[in-house]
Amino acid sequence: MNASKREAIDRLLKMVFRATGLVTIGLLGGIFFMLLFNSIAFFAKGNPIDFFTGSQWNPGSDAGNYSILPLLASTGFVALGSMMIAVPLGIFTATFLSELAPDTLRTILKPVIEMLAAIPSVAIGFLGIVLVGPAIARVFGIQNGLNALNGSILLAIMALPTIITISEDAISAVPKTYKEASLALGANKWATLFQVTLPAALPGLIAAVMLGLGRALGETMTVLMATGNAAALPKGFLDSIRTITATIAIEMGEVPYQTTHYFALFAIAVVLFIITLLINLLGEFFANRLRKFHA
Amino acid sequence: MKYCFFCLAILLQSCIEQDKTIKIKGSDTEVNLAVELAESFHVMNPIVFVSISGGGSGLGIASLLNNTADIANSSRSINEEEITLFQQKGIQIDSFIFAQDAIAIVVAKDLPIDSISTNDLAAVLSGKYSTWKSLANKDLPVNIYGRQSNSGTHDFVKDKLSIEFSRNAKEMNGNAQILEAIRADHSGIGYVGAGYVSHGGSKALKILPVYTQENKDAVSPLDAQKIAAGKYFFQRPLFQYYKTSSYIKIKPFLDYEKGQAGQSIIHSAGYYPLRKL
């Protein structure tokens, strides 16, 4: 009696836990299919070739131009710019934390850096408007600092905690014997760091960068506030840009349901989703390689 | 049992006190102003309640048609289709313009230009003129600061000039951000609701009077008299539509809006009252 009761509870709990796991997968699948379903409606109406090759996103015009190119270029610009800033900064900080910093400093610095991730994106966007924007305008002698560079700097700040935390784990996980062997062969501290430790941690560093990039690509509020939202194809980092995320955020609220414009917004959301999914998968792939490598 | 519900319904109905509540729905532009008016109106007439909700001009007019609102706020005039619907239902409606809204064209103070024609403005905002060379004789690039496409102001300016905005136009989050950007930018131009520049908000800025092909007399959006006469290009009346049959019920509120107190609330909210204060 008692044993069968326990077995029943066992089975029940197993089912509950399995169900919670499946709910997450179901949610992901559901969201993906909802996006896909609505964007298929767009491709049925519009011309898929124009969508990828045209140069204008202008849903308000009579012709209705729906080209993802300027938006994709904008998203690419800020993501690339932010990585150019965040990758060296993040990896060097991580190296400092795991290899060079004294223990007391590390125990203070690590939580402080992780706290950076807790700043709401609206607050960072606000900084972009009142602080970074005017500073950029002064430094480059331009009239207004709401541009791709501004967005890049802010997104770099937001991606830093991810990059630093994962890189630091990767560098710390490099076996001590590697370093000892290198030092025993007469290599100095810096040669050991740059030619042994960092290359050994490379898969983890790539994973860190990919996950940071994923964060930067999907960010909405910050870029919406700080990049000027001009829909023209950007030519440089000092041009105002309008990312995919900002476009969806601005236009979704007002678009009449079930129109071409409405479906077009789903179509660009799918493109963004696929990009971030690929980048996250790539990040996970490298993170797994690191785990196997050290196991 | 059936009758029980019926009685309950009557009981609830009487609780609402239909006669004492004026329901206003419609334009989001006017909702803040309407709330302010209603609050001070209620203080003066504690027995009358006014309930206000937004949702857009179209929704307001539809509510009036479906008998769920007594007054429909609308920042556009009623269209043919809606008029037909009211006629089909045999409902007589009337309108009341309680204020005027105006949109100001703003540039930096040191830009050597004093007024602008609607044609030039259309050329500037649509991106046809990329520098100030032909208008202000300065070789500065034109930087356009506008609102995002979900703003009524954005649509109003676009439709009024019948243009598409330049793709290089920056889309800011609100009126205040536009003004801040133009203050810093010697070559910027933008449009904001006149309320944002009428109460001392125009420091280090220049508000361009606008003239048209037909009327060369440039009118400033801050000129209350000209606006009352309907002479400014970027002005729109704010309507209130109501059913003729419910006029008696809403008359106290309309009178309050027309009166000194109501008009001064309209003025301090940044709109133009219909009569001189």
A144·B181 Cβ contact <8 A: yes
Domain ranges of chain B: 2-100+237-268, 102-228
Our CA-based measurement puts residue B101 at a distance from the nearest CA of chain A, in whole angstroms, of: 22
Cβ of A144 and B169 within 8 Å?
no
Question: Mean pLDDT in chain A?
Answer: 89
**pLDDT of res. A63:** 66
Residue A233 DSSP label: P
Chain B CB contacts of A230 below 8 Å: 167-171
Say if the Cβ atoms of B149 and A251 lie within 8 Å: yes
Output the pLDDT for position B7: 52
| pLDDT, tens only, A187-203 | 999 999 999 999 999 98
A240 contact B CB<8A = yes
In this structure, the number of other CB atoms found within 10 A of the CB of residue B32 comes to 13
Nearest CB partner across the interface for B170, out of A59, A60, A229:
A229
Per-residue pLDDT reduced to its tens digit, A122-151:
999 999 988 999 999 999 988 888 899 999
Please tell me if residue A129 touches chain B, with a CB cutoff of 8 Å.
Answer: yes
Q: How would CATH label the architecture of B2-100+237-268?
A: 3-Layer(aba) Sandwich (3.40)
Q: Does A201 touch chain B (CB under 8 A)?
A: no
A58, A46, A85, A80: which is closest to A233 by C-alpha? A58
Q: With beta carbons under 8 A apart, name residues in chain A contacting B170.
A: 144, 146, 228-230, 240
Host H or E run for residue B271? none
Of A70, A144, A250, the CB nearest to B143: A144
Distance CA(B108)–CA(B188), nearest Å, equals: 6
Closest CA to A154 of A243, A282, A29: A243
Give the domain B102-228 fold: D-Maltodextrin-Binding Protein; domain 2 (3.40.190)
Predicted TM-score (pTM) of the model is 0.76
Asked if A228's CB is within 8 angstroms of B170's CB, the reply is yes
Using an 8 Å CB-CB cutoff, list chain B residues near A61. Answer: 164
- Dig out the tokens for B168 from the structure: 């290089």
Spans of chain B below 50 pLDDT: 14-17, 277
H-state helical runs in B55-194: 57-65, 80-89, 118-125, 133-136, 152-161, 175-184
Q: Do B102-228 and B2-100+237-268 have the same topology in CATH?
A: yes
- Interchain pair A225, B188: CB under 8 A: no
Question: Is A67 buried (19+), middle (13-18) or exposed (0-12) by CB count in 10 A?
Answer: buried
pLDDT digits (tens, 9 = 90+) for A48-99: 788 888 888 887 666 678 889 999 999 999 999 999 999 999 999 999 999 8
Q: Tell me the pLDDT tens digit for each residue of B131-169.
A: 888 888 888 889 999 888 767 788 888 888 988 888 888
Q: Residues of A with CB below 8 A from B184's CB?
A: 134, 137, 143-144
Neighboring chain B residues of A59 at a CB cutoff of 8 Å = 149
Q: In the numeric block, which tokens belong to residue B264?
A: 């001064």
Q: At what angle do helices A260-294 and A69-95 cross, to 10 degrees?
A: 30
Contact at CB, A229 and B188, closer than 8 angstroms: no
Angle at A262 between CA B76 and CA B171, to 5 degrees: 65
Residues of A in contact with B166 (CB under 8 A): 232
As for the ipTM of the complex, it is 0.73
Structurally, at CATH architecture level, domain A57-294 sits in: Orthogonal Bundle (1.10)
| Inter-chain residue contact A231 with B167, CB threshold 8 Å | yes
> pLDDT for A262-271, tens place per residue?
888 999 999 9
User: What is the per-residue pLDDT for A163?
Assistant: 94
